[in-house]
Amino acid sequence: MKASDLRTKSDDELKGELLGLRKEAFNLRFQAASGQLENTARKRHVRRDIARIKTILRQRTAAAQAGKE
């Protein structure tokens, strides 16, 4: 997932995507702990996608705060 694609989405869409990724990360942790995880790189991709979404949401709130002042 690219940051440029994420920037075109609304805040509600990003929050929904974030929720889905957190659920996936939770499931991947369980699979890794039980030895059932086949694609170990997926954990890294999910973790980084979560960070991208959180960064974009934070930038938008910071820009809104700056606009209010």
Q: Is the pLDDT of residue 63 over 90?
A: yes
> Scanning the structure block, which residue is given the tokens 């002042």?
69
pLDDT-based confidence at residue 69 (cuts at 50, 70, 90): confident
Residue 13 corresponds to which amino acid? Answer: E
Q: Tell me the whole-structure pTM to 2 decimals.
A: 0.90
What integer pLDDT is reported at residue 67 of this predicted model? 85
What integer pLDDT is reported at residue 29 of this predicted model? 96
Query: To the nearest 5 percent, what fractions of the chain are helix, strand and coil?
Result: 85, 0, 15
CA 18 – CA 30 distance, rounded (Å): 19
CA 66 – CA 69 distance, rounded (Å): 5
Residue 23 corresponds to which amino acid? Answer: K
Q: How confident is the model over 4-61, as pLDDT tens digits?
A: 999 999 999 999 999 999 999 999 999 999 999 999 999 999 999 999 999 999 999 9
